[in-house]
Amino acid sequence: MKTPVFNSEEAMAQLRRSTHPGSAHFYAMYSSLFGGIITDPALMVLPLDDHMVHRGHGVFDTATLVNGMLYQLDQHLERFLRSAKMARISLPFPAERLRQIILDTAAASGRRDGSVRYWLSAGPGGFGLSSAECVGSSFYVMVFRQEGYPESFYTRGVKVITSTVPIKPPFFARVKSTNYLPNVLVLLEAKERGADNGIFIDDRGMVAESSNMNVAFVSRDRVFRHPQFGAVLSGVTVQRMLRLAEGLVKEGALTKIEIGDITVAEGKAAAEMMLVGSSIKVAPVVEWDHQPIGDGKPGPIARKFLDLWHEDIRRATDQLVRVAYPE
Ligand SMILES: Cc1ncc(COP(=O)(O)O)c(C=O)c1O
């Protein structure tokens, strides 16, 4: 069969035809290349010569839209700006303007719940390696239906395996770049081996993180434990949970909070283990490498953290930014 060559009009029609059912849940997109917001999923495309596409020279972050508010937007933005600096991508606009564009895109989506993801790219300019050829950095925002996890993750718990996928070196684990190949592979490996997700182990044999979430433990003497942040992504959610854990220490549910190295053996001997992140919130892990964690049932502390998360999105005014929807 001969490969068709399209003129611009035909190409546009093809673009419209090429949307898939999932794109019905892509609600709004901002592109600095258009200089505005669009809501037609068929047009939510990037130029191939954008260095984020063909070189992975881009960074991103995601904030959750809940009840018409962006949860922890400023904390996510702070990490986004840190990532941009590490990736040596300059901002196309001042940070305050980026924040406003995110809020405007959320408003234009008309949605009160979803995910708001934004990217900063070295930008288009050609197919070379150096961003010196780029015409300027580009900024994109997308509002889409949040990835859902099965209810059983919370009621029956999550099963994990130790991943054989090599973890990113510390610098690359700390920058939230668009190079998520190891993160994708850890998840695919876990599914293939009958688990829900995998755990990255660092080159010293210490517990690191999961595919796109952090991992925390409650020891048998009720210490809340998290790995050091030097070689993992500093999760906005787990940083908040570490703060809220102070309340659980005060009420006696936990004895203390410890951030430091956790060996695999220590992790497996914990009373509780949990996955923490913007998408999963807090989910109990009940099995690791086919061995039960604690009594093999979702634990009370993971439950308490999930309840605290729900309370936070309802009441923590210092963690919520209201979206100004059109009347
Ligand atoms: C590799 C990795 N670790 C941890 C996290 C959790 O971070 P957050 O709580 O900010 O979603 C994420 C998600 O962004 C991630 O991609």
Least Cα distance to 30 among 177, 178, 139, 135 occurs for 139
Compute, in angstroms, the gap from residue 227 CA to the centroid of ligand 1: 14
Residue ID of nearest Cα to ligand 1 atom 5: 213
CATH of residue 164's domain is 3.20.10.10
Pairing of strands 138-144, 114-121: antiparallel
Q: How many CB atoms lie within 10 A of CB 161?
A: 21
Residue 322 inside a domain? The answer is no
Is 319 inside any structural domain?
A: no
Atom 12 of ligand 1 has which residue's CA nearest to it? 212
Q: 14 CB contacts (<8 Å, ≥6 apart)? A: 6
Beta strands in the chain (DSSP E): 26-31, 36-38, 58-66, 69-71, 114-121, 138-144, 158-162, 197-201, 207-210, 214-218, 223-226, 256-259, 272-277, 281-288, 291-292, 320-322
Q: Is residue 321 part of a domain?
A: no
User: Nearest Cα to 283, choosing from 189, 152, 188?
Assistant: 152
- Cβ of 277 closer than 6 Å to ligand 1, yes or no, is yes
The last residue of a domain, from among 144, 174, 207: 144
As a whole number of angstroms, the distance between CA 318 and CA 307 comes to 18
Are 119 and 176 within 8 A, CB to CB?
Answer: no
CB of 235 within 6 A of ligand 1: the answer is yes
Return per-residue pLDDT of the chain as tens, 327 residues.
Answer: 999 999 999 999 999 999 999 999 999 999 999 999 999 999 999 999 999 999 999 999 999 999 999 999 999 999 999 999 999 999 999 999 999 999 999 999 999 999 999 999 999 999 999 999 999 999 999 999 998 899 999 999 999 999 999 999 999 999 999 999 999 999 999 999 999 999 999 989 999 999 999 999 999 999 999 999 999 999 999 999 999 999 999 999 999 999 999 999 999 999 999 999 999 999 999 999 999 999 999 999 999 999 999 999 999 889 999 999 998
326 found inside a domain: no
Whether residue 133 is found in the same domain as residue 204 = no
- Three-state SS at 138: strand
170 and 299, same structural domain?
yes
* One-letter amino acid for residue 231 of the chain: A
Q: Indicate the residue type of 323.
A: V
In a domain, 98, yes or no: yes
Count of domains forming the chain: 2
215 with 83, same domain: the answer is: no
pLDDT number for residue 147: 83
Beta pairing partners, 117: 62, 142
Residue 200 Cα to ligand 1 midpoint, Å, equals: 13
Q: What is the pLDDT of residue 148?
A: 87
Q: Are residues 22 and 134 in the same domain?
A: yes
Supply the CATH number for residue 59's domain.
Answer: 3.30.470.10
294 in the same domain as 164: yes
Domain edge (last residue) among 144, 166, 185: 144
The answer to whether 167 and 232 have CB atoms below 8 angstroms apart is no
169 and 308 inside one domain: yes
Tell me, yes or no, whether 207 and 282 share the same domain.
yes
Read off the amino acid at residue 115: S
- Asked if residues 274 and 262 have their Cβ atoms less than 8 Å apart, the reply is no
49, 191: one domain: no
* 323 domain residue, yes or no: no
Of 219, 168, 216, 212, nearest to 190 (Cα)? 212
**Do 89 and 25 lie in a common domain?**
yes
Burial 84-96 (b: 16+ CB within 10 A, else e): beebebeeeeeee
Shared domain check, 13 and 114: yes
Q: Choose one of 233, 241, 319 to mutate for the ligand 1 pocket test, by most ligand atoms within 8 angstroms of C-beta.
A: 233
Q: How far apart are alpha carbons 259 and 243 in whole angstroms?
A: 12
Q: Cβ(183) to ligand 1 under 6 A?
A: yes
Q: Mutation test of ligand 1: which of 200, 212, 239 has the most ligand atoms closer than 8 Å to its C-beta? A: 212
In whole angstroms, give the CA distance from residue 136 to residue 35.
13
- Cβ atoms of 213 and 302 closer than 8 Å: no
How do strand 36-38 and strand 26-31 relate by DSSP bridges?
A: antiparallel
Rounded Cα distance, 119 and 322, in Å = 21
Same domain, 76 and 204: no
DSSP per residue over 233-290, as a string? ---HHHHHHHHHHHHHHHTTS-SEEEES--BHHHHHT-SEEEEEETTTEEEEEEEETT
Provide the whole-model pTM: 0.96
Residues 131 and 156 in one domain: no
Whether residue 325 is contained in a domain is answered as: no
For 94, the domain range is: 8-144
Last residue of a domain, which of 144, 170, 194?
A: 144
- The catalytic site residues sit at 176
Q: How many helices (H) and strands (E) does the chain have?
A: 10, 16
Instruction: Let me know if residue 181 belongs to a domain.
Output: yes
Longest dimension (CA), the chain: 72
